[in-house]
Amino acid sequence: MGEHVKAKRLEAGLHQAELAAQLEVDEFTVLNWENGHTMPRVSYYSRIVTFLGYDPIGEGETLPEKMKAYRRREGFDQREAGQRIGVDEGTWRAWETGRRVPNSINEVRLHRLFQPDIHPEPPGGSSFGANVRQWRIEAGLSQRRLAKLLGVHATTIRAWELGHRLPPDSRRREVAVLLEQDPGGPAR
């Protein structure tokens, strides 16, 4: 991280004291980051990422890596991040370290957290299947992945999306929770 901060600071023609003032930290803090003596606190990451214009650590591929990247980007500790989806700090930590895996509903909530611009309900009162399909695509999930999250076969998801079949009411409520919709909404 420090190497990225130093390179960008020099590129911008800033002294360490100027960057420190911009990031609202002490000049020696910037010096220690740049020399690799310390790493920035999580609460400073969002300011650093804004200054750099990118996250030098990256978003990651695995769920725990994405969770860490989200916290860095937002400047949250594990307690604050957990509050965003309604879980406690210990649960978030267990997921982020890979000791535990979130259930399907919490996994979907996490993915929504990472991509806040996703709107699960299409405009104009579309059909149940169209809602499922649009949300699935916007969430970056394959039919197979969504099927796994819901504990059904991928052909079932395909049938729902095509309007060939509707899930039973109990399953529909579960899907509605995932889509953040009213389970009593339009059937087709």
Taking the chain (188 residues) in runs of 10, the rounded mean pLDDT of each run is 92 94 93 92 83 80 86 84 89 93 83 62 56 80 83 84 77 70 39
- pTM, two decimal places: 0.49
Token pair 């509605």 is found at: 176
Q: What is the pLDDT of residue 119?
A: 41
Nearest to 127 by CA among 165, 173, 170, 177: 165
Cα separation, 105 vs 102, whole angstroms: 8
Q: What is the pLDDT of residue 18?
A: 95
Note the residue count of the chain. Answer: 188
Cα separation, 32 vs 85, whole angstroms: 34
Please give the backbone phi and psi of residue 63, each rounded to the nearest 5 degrees, phi first.
-60, -45
| CA dist 59 → 27, 69, 76, 88, 133 (Å) | 28, 5, 15, 23, 25
